[in-house]
Amino acid sequence: MTIFRSMAGALMLATAALSQAAAEKSIESNEQGTGYSLEFSYPAVIAEHPALQQMVLAERQTQLTQLKQWGKDWVSENPERAVETDMESFITWQTVANLPRFLSLTKDIWDYSGGAHGNWWRSSIVWDKQLGTVRKPIEMFVDKQAFDRVMHERFCEALDTERARKDGQEPVAGKDDAEYWQDWMERCPKPSELDIILGSSDRKTFNRLAVYVGIYTVGPYVEGDYEIDLPVTANLIAAVKPEYRGVFAVSPKSAAKARER
């Protein structure tokens, strides 16, 4: 399992371009038993919000319970290999942006539960410090359709460019969901259906944004995942729910281009 553990370590150490994680302390808790292991960490800022910390630790317990069951089943079916730890999970929470009212976080999970390789994925949430509630970033917009109207074309263009960079082929126009079964490796899913990650360069407003595309979503396992950075524009802010618009700002690069015009 050394190869898998090294892969997981590399994934967990790599931070998203939007992340503030490098400068903060983390709280770690590792547990290993017969047939399973769990390595878990979250930024210390989560502990400043008891309800959020309780949610995070409850998720840890759920994952640990599942791993223990998998490990028990593994040992039962493979008694001669009971000393091996073949059910592994690495879960890392990271701070993307810590604003006066909101805390933007990502959760990276890497799992191995048998087979040729492990799997990984990323999700994101926004914690409202004022209300003590959690929501998905997309919920801060008027609706998914409003978000897609502004971001879909830009997202597809950027995704196709990244695909071309990975496979060395010329970019192709991303296909929409209706053509999914024709060629899923060229499809362009609606960004609202994926994980939206909100970031900040000034720690005051959300002026950075990325769309996370997990493995197998638009290509084979070997292609890996994508994190597509997109600008926060005035048009996008217009698609934000009125009560949240004040916490969004146009991306610095977009603002500079607007001034040039």
What pLDDT digit, counting tens, does each position of 35-83 carry? 788 999 999 999 999 999 999 999 999 989 988 888 788 778 776 665 5
pLDDT over 50 (residue 98): yes
Residue type, 11: L
The CA distances from residue 127 to 7, 80, 108, in Å, are: 30, 46, 17
pLDDT level of residue 130 (50, 70, 90 thresholds):
very high
Instruction: Please answer whether residues 196 and 209 qualify as being in contact, where contact means their C-beta atoms are separated by less than 8 angstroms.
Output: yes
Q: In the CATH hierarchy, which top-level class contains the domain 2-135? A: alpha beta
* Helix (H) or strand (E) run with residue 210 in it: strand 208-213
Whether 184 and 201 have beta carbons less than 8 Å apart is answered as no
| Residue-range domain boundaries for the chain | 2-135, 139-260
Least confident among 1-10, 15-24, 237-246:
1-10
Tell the burial category of 63 from Cβ atoms under 10 Å away from its Cβ (0-12, 13-18, 19+): middle
pTM of the model: 0.82
Report the pLDDT averaged over residues 147-162: 94
Per-residue pLDDT at 137 exceeds 80: yes
